[in-house]
Structure 1
Amino acid sequence: MLKAAELGATTSVADLFVRVVWEGCLPLDLRAQLNLRLVSQSLRHLVTPQISALRANMLTCILNTAHFPGLGALDLSGSHPLEVTDCRLQQISVLTNLTVLNLQECRLVTEEGLSTLVALPALAKLSLRGCQQISHEAMGVVACLTALTSLDLERCAQLSDDSFRCLTPLTGLTDLNLDGCSQLHDVGLGAIAALSRLRRLRLKGCTEVMDAGVQLLCFLTPLTHLDLSGCWQTTDEGIAALGGLTALTHLDITGCRHLTDAGLRELALLSKLTVLHLAECSHLTDQGTQVLFGFPRLTHLDLRGCVRLSDSALQPLQDLVYLNLSGCAPVTIGWRRVLEPLTGLTELHLEDCVQVRGTFLHLLS
């Protein structure tokens, strides 16, 4: 990895140069531009992370794509929003080897700019996270990018169920992020459920999703990661449908506050789970958490705000490295015998466990 300020030292090893990362608000002077051009024939990855004020001459040089014929990954996330526009994206369309494009928080990009990306036959990973101008029409363009395997639409708040229906041609998708897409309903989720190769699906904060939509996810048997946190309208009926997703290793149902012991027991076959978030599922009791003992690979468990659990809820879970019991009011000194066997535990949260004595915390140190 090489910083822009170090470009002057690269000209003698240009054949080995594969990556430039801009850090901070560095001006790209004429000398740096010249050096960048000298090494550009071997450049494969160009990253500009978290720059709050990317200067115009820097972006002009970066997007002068004639300099970078072999560029495979371009990260413009965090660039100044006034600089990355539809006109700028037109310059990217000649990068026919591009496989990764990150436009996160490029808030002026619209479907007009995205339409130029159809000239990128190898594009496999695209992030439009936080691109507030992305609308339904833009999804028609995205649907033409049939080589996509990863798509990030987090906080693209204009997208509706009709927008998500447009994604059905993307049959190669394995990773889809729809966090914060507040207009996603069960109908739209039905279209997502047709993407049969999905392995990672994020629906955090999709508050209009209900049981009927979650039940359709049962067809996504390759899923290994599923995030339904904040989908508060989901009940036992919807959660029970996840019991057949036996490939799951990561499941987050934080805030599914209608979940009860009966629904949790329906997940008993998810024996590959390593990470499970049940925070704010306040109806769960010790009887429901008995199902956790059937998850031998579980290393991360979040029970924050599960206010009905007692000291006997976790006794056999000896492989945990992360445990969050914050807000579990019934937690007492009796948890000492539960926690002592957890020799691999590296992170423990007990905030607002009002009955835990100071002497107990001393024993944990």
Structure 2
Amino acid sequence: MTPLAPAARLTQYAHGGDCASKIPAAELERVVTGLTGGGDALLLGGADGDDAAVMRIRGGRAVVSTADFSTPVVDDAYDWGRIAAANALSDVYAIGGEPLMALNLLGWPRDALPAELAREVMRGGRDVAALAGCPIAGGHSVDDPEPKYGLAVTGVADPDRLLRLDGARPGLPLSLTKPLGIGVLNARHKATGEVFPHAVETMTALNADAGLAALERGVTGATDVTGFGLLGHLYKMARASGATAVVNASAVPYLDGARAAVRDGFVPGGTRRNLSWVSPHTDFRRIAEEERLLLADAQTSGGLLVAGEIPGAPVIGELVAPGRRTLLVR
């Protein structure tokens, strides 16, 4: 793809960086308390904040529903569309589902950016969704001063074989299927224009194989690592499962350049908010501030965090009996 002209750098039209611009977790939890869930047929989608809603339907199946949209994380319109689509589809894979169909969700500043760029964004989304075997059938758009794009995805799942936030158990290892550092590299990209192809490759990779591998090995506890960072999503899973999660910091993989980005000050506000949220629930032992920020880094289209072992994914820790703190990083 031909790079965009500097005047059309998409990230400059966003006040935040994709999943790093999420409403802070603690604030969001206060807002939605008591507003979700209901009915015996609803298997996921209640107070724990699972990655997608799942409802049992006739014929021994379950329907999966999720929506995800966000601001630009890269300047290339086509790549942003691919990343946003992979990020939305990940919610289906994170609960052990299979995507069937999606709808575009588009906000576009018509007076500031040409419609041709919006087409490139949606073309990227279409191409990644096609890799997932998930056709995009229309959608919804609004004239918006800040560009936003994502998908509403419908899928199916086996109601008796779901990956759940509350499905983790003490004694199980913790595996992570993608390296961390996406948030700080995206922050550097937004500030400097420097492009990180390996970060784009990571963000556009689907979590389909990881979700299937988890199901095949009988895993019942998993989530994907996105805007709340590894520690934020791990905290939610350990809390829902009634366990303490132990992270071996030296075993956590990072993208090349991530540590340098933190040292140079390219840390998203969402990453700092994540760290502030989990810190009261975490025993960091002797973990330095740089490492803490990377572990809390707000990811876009990150990997799956699995309570179990799957091929090719490093084991980064374990779940143990509940203790004084929900997270222990050593």
TM-score (normalised: structure 2): 0.24
Q: Which has the higher helix share?
A: 2
TM-score (normalised: structure 1): 0.22
Q: Which has the higher strand share?
A: 2
Larger-gyration structure (1/2): 1
Structure having greater relative contact order (Cα 8 Å, sep ≥ 6): 2
